[in-house]
A and B are shown apart, each in its own frame.
Chain A
Amino acid sequence: MSRKELLNPAGLRVDGRRATDIRRISCKPSVLSQADGSAYIEQGNTKCLAAVYGPREPRQKSAILHNRANISVGVSFAPFATSERKKWSKSDKRLLEIASFVKQTFEPVIQTTSFPRSQIDIFLQILQFDGGTIQICINATTMALVDAGIPMNDYVCACTAGVIQNVPILDLNLIEESSDSPEVTVAILADSEKVTLLQSESRLDVDSFQAVAQLAKIGCKEIRNVMDAALRKNIKDLFGKMEAKIKTDQSADFRLGLNLSRRLENFKAGPIIRSAVNGVRYTHIAILSGHQNLGGK
């Protein structure tokens, strides 16, 4: 038995959180210049980097789907991610499984039919691991996809919840995960609350399942708010830069961008995604996010 007490009599968990607290999240989109969209997210000590390429022409002919875009996901762990240094095999079953979870989660959410015969590549790397791999992978992917301007129906947010000593707890860290308490990962569409992923590898009481799933949903929404704020801030910064540029360069393309920025501010939720459905706008945002190319198209 572990000598750690997961929930002490005062109701605090090993790291000092209460049962329904999530870990501290910090996130930042557009961290890579090469990728079409990218994001870096930290949930407590779990850290993940996501890069999105595409939609682009598939490398292999076999990957072509005639009516929609193909999504490919690759997950890797940095050798220094865990407390013991370790080389992760590319074909590690656990990694492949996580990749397939992410793929399944996003397939119905990304508007793949808008991009037939193309491919969207998602690459995820866990830089530090402290529990909750699937949830952080999904959250990072959402941010990177938004950053890439790929049209989606909604934010996808994921969070884990479990039960320790009959108390439902939110966002398990590694110590809590490695105890034999049950754990459920839930991914929802933040606004419509539709569940796109529900995953668990442990036995869980039917009676407590409802409470656990509900708690995970609340966690998802909290995460959504943090991600949304970060994305908005990022876009604002970009438009700030753009407006500065427009003052010196009065080309038509940028006028359009300016219009867009004004419209964006009027949207309540998920502005980038919805406005990005249109192909034209999409192109513009894609250029904007690769901010080195401001003078290009």
Chain B
Amino acid sequence: MLRSKTYLKRTKKGIVKAVQEHYLRDDIWCSVEFCSICAHTQPILSANPATTVLVPTPHYLVPDTNVFFNQIDLIEHPALKDVIVMQTVYEELRHLNLTIYNRLKKVIEDPQRRFYVFSNEHHRKTYVERLKQESPNDRNDRAIREAIKWYTSHLQDSSTNDHKVVLLSDDAANLKKAKSEGLLAYSVEKYVESITETPELVNMLRNMSVSDDSEKKVTYDEYLSSAQIANGLKNGTLYQGTLSISMHNYLEGSIAPVIDGQENQIMIINRDRMNRAIQGDVVAVQLLPRSEWRRTPSAVIVEEDEENAILQDLNEAEISLDQTSNTDFGELQPTGAAGDKTTETEVLLLEHDVPFQDFSTQVLSCLPSEGESWKVTNEYQHRMDFRNLNVSSIDPPGCEDIDDALHVRILPNGNYEVGVHIADVTHFVKPGTSLDEEAAVRGTTVYLVNKRVDMLPALLGSTGVERLAFSCMWELNDDADVVKTQFAKSVIISKAALTYEEAQRRIDDLHMQDDLTKGLRILNQLAKKLRGKRIERGALTLASPEVRFKLENDSQDPLDVEVSLAAEEMKELRETNALVEEFMLLANISVAEEIFRKFPASSLLRKHPPPTSSKLEKLSKAIDEFGLTLQYDSSKALAESLDKAVIPQEPYFNTLLRILTTRCMMQATYFCSGSIPQKEFMHYGLATQIYTHFTSPIRRYSDIVVHRLLEACIDENLSYGSELTDIKKITQLCEVLNYRHRMAQQAARSSVELHTHLFFKNRKEKNEGFVTRTLKNGFIALIPRLVLMIFHQDLSDSTENILKFISYGIEGIVLAAQKPGLISPVVYNTRTNSLDSTSSSTKIKLFDKVLVQISVDEDLVGEGAGGMRQKLRIELVEPFIFGFSVSVSEENNSVRRSDEEIGIQVKRMKMD
């Protein structure tokens, strides 16, 4: 062991003097393939590095810290290879910016890229002591130059090859010094321009010279100091809360601080008052004088929490796409033509911060090497063998990632044994692997209209006939009471993969008497009982307009299948869908109880807090005039009053009410059981005391963690690390998952919106809608269902298709005054919460049925607020209000709506 014992002292900055050892070694190798002196076993740097016009001899690159810091995109480009990363640089970068550091680390880990970290700080010959009156930066630059010197002479000594080492730096002083010391040194720009093979690299350069602050204009108020904030919060002149930007107006935001034990809403309107804060920031606000309030308390932001710096980083990509932005950060990358489907989809993924890159080779290497042909081999001995059970899966048609299956059998004592078998994803996704890390970052699979962004590589979903499962089994008696619960890792064979429709047909067709079908009937009966009990406890059946989209493009399916399905679909699906859902809920609850028993402090659970009464109160007032009331003391009372709220002549009313009730609800979130008191665990919507996610590990990371927790519960000998016991880590993870989950939902919604816009291009449609919210200058209309038949010419292959397009739940704002400055034809009436026409007695209020015309506004110039985004324009047709309503030209209206198609389609909102 060669270890030089030279011993040096280091002092940290600050008051505390820390003494650290610093060993210098002479067993740090150069890692160059042909080197005859060094004793390295697996050299990283190739013997034939690249040459350029500027440096015609083969050479290795040594960028300095600022090059990595400013040009990380360039560094990530696969054309750059054989790079020596000096330890000095590596550590400096870690201190400068962890995000960039992690990106560099990824590159270093990739063996294809041949990036070598040379530990020059611990090399006996390259270590340099800081001189008196030398700044740490200068010392580091000198250290890098020393290391390059060593490398240059070492390469000459070790072989006959004439390889060079080139310093890349944008620091003029450093370059000058390097040249005077006889080293090869160039600025990044100069060097990159000389790479002829990949000219696109030049475009990736970030122009550093632009960042002059000559034209910077301070337009915003300065933030208050942290002491002022602390004081203000303490004596009540300031309020703190998380800023949420209005969905309809980006210059309007609000926070919901708790004042005197009550949740209040404070509005923040316009850019100046927003004071640079963005969605999700924790802000402190100061109330404006009462005279400036509109309807609710208004305020101005005086401080933005610095903790959200990371969030801003995340948004950088988005901002960079907005060409109107004055801020000069983030790189401009041409994504594609505006308005193009692929481009816009990509933009929307970026916008919602969805990681959508392909899985890296490191991630894929964590999967079993057999790939598709992976088979269960020696896993039997540690697992329950359920291969003889009649296990079947029921999923929507076309579902690719089947992660749950069910079985039932009658026990000798007359009870039923029901098993839910979930794909054992954690068998493949081991904690700490890059596969696991990637999945944790992605958090969830994101479903868009035309794209699915997976959380895990596809391989895991489809593994042969015999499948590994994590089973949750109950013994249920005739009343569907749980007598016994058992969890086990198992091997199953799925006897049938049914769609909802097939399963329903089997249940209904009395000729079918095979075991599988009989089992389905038993499950169905049990599920109904379970459901009955759940509703008895006060579970809510809520509704959300199904943000869904059907495309019949390029597919060979005859179109009438779609039509026949649409009418019957809902009835068909309801029963079997509820069957599966019921047992999944039961599994989730059972698992939640189990993991909470073993890990009371660090279980990952899901909660759904009760809604605030103020919002429901408003809604209750609105339905008063229909002679209906809304009881909201408990979830049970709410569920019952919702059931009663029916207007016979308007079938959609009840659904609409449920949709609006849903909007009053809080978001369900993941949390760590140790972070809040147990009485807050409850899931309001499902009316259960404890809940978690267990049943979809392929598409949700939370389920993966829960699987691990449950495995630790049932296997005493299992060894696990702090990833399951550290409250802090789990809490952090929950925050990430909640964020990803929210973003995924929003991305899905935006995707539907995007496609809606694409189809409405050059079209105007008239349709029926409902008023879901009245605003000061208009109202929001919900169009429950819209069917379009479009004769569409596909530009890519110039074939003509008939496109059938059904859109559910389009919602948009109907503005009273289309242009600012015009006198509004309606007046908002605060008392009745309605819009009153100034010229007639017509009123528009909540739940009103209106006829609207839908078209698309194009804003491709990019000057508008939409940021080159197309916008849906909805205009009022009926009731007619002068100056508000528009008249419709009939010839554009190519839709014939048959009466039964207005039958409204609503998906029961999955509360989990």
Contact = CB atoms under 8 A, between A and B. Distances in A.
Contacts of B18: 83
Given A84-B16, A205-B719, A15 B119 contact: no
Contacts of A253: none
Interface string A232-263: 00000000000000000000000000000000
Given A3-B94, A5-B94, A203-B721, A24 B5 contact: yes
Interface in B98-125: 105, 108-109, 117-119, 121-122
A15 B20 CA distance: 7
B121 A16 contact: yes
B725 interface: yes
Contacts of B717: 206
Is chain B's interface secondary structure helix, strand, loop, or mixed overall?
A: loop
A207 B19 CA distance: 35
A8 B90 contact: yes
B743 interface: no
B22 interface: yes
Given A8-B90, A180-B722, A23 B16 contact: no
Given A3-B94, A166-B432, A8 B119 contact: yes
B25 A206 contact: no
Interface in A1-37: 3, 5, 8-10, 12, 14-17, 21, 23-24
B667 interface: no
A206 B18 CA distance: 35
Contact of B21 (A8, A23, A180): A23
A270 interface: no
Is chain A's interface secondary structure helix, strand, loop, or mixed overall?
A: loop
For this complex, into which size category does the number of interface residues on chain A fall?
20 to 34
A233 B717 CA distance: 49
Contacts of A44: 21
B105 A15 contact: no
Interface string B17-32: 1111111110010000
A21 B3 contact: yes
A17 B3 CA distance: 8
A173 interface: yes
B7 A8 contact: no
A8 B721 contact: no
A45 B719 contact: no
A278 to B, nearest CB: 39
B706 to A, nearest CB: 20
B81 to A, nearest CB: 16
Contacts of B109: 9
Contacts of A16: 21-25, 119, 121-122
- For A83, A180, A207, which residue has the most chain B Cβ atoms within 10 angstroms? A83
A21 B87 contact: no
- For B5, B7, B20, B105, which residue has the most chain A Cβ atoms within 10 angstroms? B20
B95 interface: yes
Given A16-B22, A206-B719, A10 B16 contact: no
A11 to B, nearest CB: 9
A45 B117 contact: no
- For B1, B16, B23, B118, which residue has the most chain A Cβ atoms within 10 angstroms? B23
A17 B17 contact: no
A9 B105 contact: yes
A173 B22 CA distance: 12
B700 to A, nearest CB: 26
B719 A14 contact: no
Contacts of A173: 21
A10 B119 contact: yes
B7 A24 contact: yes
B872 to A, nearest CB: 45
- For A12, A23, A173, which residue has the most chain B Cβ atoms within 10 angstroms? A12
Contacts of B24: 16
B353 to A, nearest CB: 22
Contacts of B23: 15-17, 21, 24
A83 B119 contact: no
A61 B860 CA distance: 97
A16 B124 CA distance: 11
Contacts of A206: 717, 719
A145 to B, nearest CB: 27
Contacts of B108: 9
A53 to B, nearest CB: 32
Contacts of B87: 8, 10
Contacts of B720: 203
- For A10, A24, A205, which residue has the most chain B Cβ atoms within 10 angstroms? A10
Interface in B715-761: 717, 719-722, 725-726
A203 B602 CA distance: 15
A144 to B, nearest CB: 24
B658 to A, nearest CB: 45
Contacts of A175: 20
B28 A10 contact: yes
B199 to A, nearest CB: 31
Nearest to A128: B19
A128 B21 CA distance: 13
Contacts of B21: 15-16, 23-24, 44-45, 130, 173
- For A15, A166, A206, which residue has the most chain B Cβ atoms within 10 angstroms? A15
Interface string A73-88: 0000000000110000
B19 to A, nearest CB: 6
B142 to A, nearest CB: 19
Nearest to B718: A206
A209 to B, nearest CB: 9
A3 B13 CA distance: 14
A107 B725 CA distance: 36
Given A3-B94, A166-B432, A203 B22 contact: no
Interface in A48-98: 83-84
A180 B24 CA distance: 26
A44 to B, nearest CB: 5
A180 B20 CA distance: 19
Given A16-B119, A180-B726, 9 more contacts: A9-B105, A9-B117, A24-B23, A45-B19, A45-B21, A83-B17, A203-B725, A205-B719, A207-B719
29 contacts: A3-B94, A3-B95, A5-B91, A8-B119, A9-B109, A9-B117, A12-B122, A15-B20, A15-B21, A15-B23, A16-B23, A16-B24, A16-B119, A16-B122, A17-B3, A21-B1, A24-B5, A24-B23, A45-B20, A45-B21, A83-B16, A83-B19, A128-B19, A130-B19, A166-B432, A180-B722, A180-B726, A203-B720, A205-B719
The 3 A-B pairs with the shortest beta carbon distances in the complex, nearest first, are A16-B122, A16-B23, A15-B21
Interface of B: 1, 3, 5, 7, 16-25, 28, 87, 90-91, 94-95, 105, 108-109, 117-119, 121-122, 432, 717, 719-722, 725-726
Interface of A: 3, 5, 8-10, 12, 14-17, 21, 23-24, 44-45, 83-84, 128, 130, 166, 173, 175, 180, 203, 205-207
